[in-house]
Structure 1
């Protein structure tokens, strides 16, 4: 089965040796994605902006794999501060309501204290995209 490796070109991907996403057959697995802008290297301070940046990066990775957010079947979110839940949920609803994937949200620490959220997704390409 063909494997397609997808990179954002981040230094951490190169350092660790992982892919932003991996497409295997009709499946696309997107690694944990933080709110860093991979073009500028900037990390917004606001959790809402970080969440939007996560989705921007995830959408790019899915598109490169021939998929989209519409194909997402599972999403996992790690938030640093549970008090951010309502603000994050408002952004999630913009992206997820039409899709309705399975969702798990946990609270914990991230490697860089500037990050407030990390999102990973699994997508199953729709038959028209496969």
Structure 2
């Protein structure tokens, strides 16, 4: 592994079982893997897509902070929802977290790993050093 590569874990049991990191820092780039609405401290997830979106961004912000970055450094975001009809209800949360940043974005409708998951979000950030 390159000395400029840093692996970040959230403590999610999925990371060890599947073999991935919550985020990878490579040089000045931070790649945050798909985050869902699980609260990693409690292992719980709300059944509500808006609540899940909020928790998802809290999880992303924590990974970025550990990488030495913040939401202001996000350059790309990808939203994945099993039901595209849920997307619009999450917009206030997305606006709250990324409204001033306005990264390039894509929304994809696809099944997620567990039925309870209503949104998954991945981001790429560039740290200005």
Coarse TM-score class (shorter-chain normalised): over 0.9
CA distance in 2, matches of 1:82, 1:122: 22
Cα deviation, residue 15, structure 1: 0.7
3-state SS in 2 of match to 1:23: strand
- Following TM superposition, the consecutive aligned residue runs of length 4 or more in structure 1 with deviations greater than 2 angstroms are none
**Among 84, 92, 96, the residue aligned to 2:86:** 84
Cα deviation, residue 30, structure 1: 0.1
TM-score normalised per structure 2: 0.96
CA distance in 1, matches of 2:27, 2:89: 35
Q: Which residue of 2 aligns with 1:119?
A: 121
CA distance in 1, matches of 2:59, 2:39: 8
Higher mean C-alpha deviation, range 86-95 or range 23-32: 86-95
CA distance in 2, matches of 1:97, 1:10: 28
- Structure 2: which 5+ runs fail to align? none
Cα deviation, residue 61, structure 1: 0.3
3-state SS in 2 of match to 1:39: coil
Cα deviation, residue 90, structure 1: 1.6
Cα deviation, residue 17, structure 1: 1.5
Q: Deviations over 1:22-47 (max 9, x none)?
A: 00110000000111110000010100
Considering only aligned residues, what root-mean-square deviation do their CA atoms show, in Å? 0.8
CA distance in 2, matches of 1:90, 1:80: 19
CA distance in 2, matches of 1:95, 1:65: 18
Cα deviation, residue 89, structure 1: 1.2
